[in-house]
Copies of this chain bind each other. A is one copy, B any other.
């Protein structure tokens, strides 16, 4: 036990928040084995396991609460797609929260695991502090959170997770917008790489929001044991947000495809333009060069050479050739 406690003091921290409509208590507990003792003292007990917990700690907690080993396995192997699993006395929910590091264009997904019981919520999230606002909301008794049960706390957590997707998509939309602007001018081939990068990010958050949608849909539609009617309405609201996010992602994908198509057609057009310039220059000057080449020949007998106006007549012929060529190209609409 001491080892897991040490770990809790080192990498991970266990914060326990328990509240009812009138009471509120927050303690940072030392040893994982104390967790279960607090549950039931007040209406709702929220056990927050912060930082990257080691397996031993999680197994310890799992045993106290009677969580299924498979669920604990899923917490340990954190790289799961969002899902919800109904057990007899509790639910196991995992959601993904997208994170964009301050000075980087990259996006990553953080997993949060939630165990929801009748009167407790256990959350395990490796990093980030997206839940700080809830923490304060409970402490200061803002909104309806203190009046509601544990399922509403779970809703609040999931709702905040969903809300994190909006700024990420805004960020992506801004990048798409800037690509689109670049396309108004002279796009460099680099743009294809940028399109590729954005597509991957869209794919990443899309692969995350779709199962989140299913998770929330399950919580709202099936109305499982632990979700009260009052909270169900709130889950419906969160569900609508996931649909909206999914729509926005599809819209971004559509626009990106359109941009790529535009870029391809611009490249084709550019090649076409380049070819026209070459063809016009070459087709005008190659015949002229031939003409002057004729009179550069050194034959002894070339009657024109001795004819005085010949030089000027050749110039005249060349002007005519140029005019004929220009007319030919203008008729073809090349300039």
Contacts and interface: CB of A to CB of B under 8 A. Distances in A.
Interface of A: 68, 70, 73-74, 80-81, 83, 85, 186, 189, 192-193, 196, 199-200, 203, 207, 233-234, 236-237, 240, 243-244, 247, 251, 254-255, 258-279, 281-283, 285-290, 292-302, 304-308, 310-311, 314, 332-334
Given A200-B255, A300-B306, A283 B278 contact: yes
Given A289-B290, A292-B296, A264 B265 contact: yes
A207 B247 contact: yes
Nearest to A259: B196
A238 to B, nearest CB: 10
A333 B286 contact: no
From A247, A298, A299, residue with most partner B Cβ within 10 Å: A299
A247 B204 CA distance: 11
B302 A262 contact: no
A222 B312 CA distance: 92
10 contacts: A70-B234, A189-B265, A193-B262, A207-B247, A270-B272, A275-B278, A281-B283, A281-B287, A292-B294, A299-B314
Given A294-B292, A305-B298, A192 B266 contact: yes
B269 A267 contact: yes
Given A262-B196, A267-B272, A269-B267, A289 B278 contact: no
B286 A282 contact: yes
Given A192-B265, A292-B296, 19 more contacts: A68-B233, A85-B236, A186-B333, A200-B258, A203-B255, A264-B265, A267-B268, A271-B272, A271-B275, A281-B283, A281-B287, A282-B283, A285-B287, A286-B286, A290-B292, A296-B298, A297-B298, A298-B302, A300-B305
B265 A267 contact: yes
Nearest to A293: B292
Q: Which 9 residue pairs spanning A and B have beta carbons closest together?
A: A292-B293, A295-B297, A278-B279, A296-B296, A281-B283, A299-B311, A285-B286, A189-B269, A274-B275
Given A236-B85, A258-B199, A276-B274, A298 B301 contact: no
Nearest to A278: B279
Nearest to A260: B261
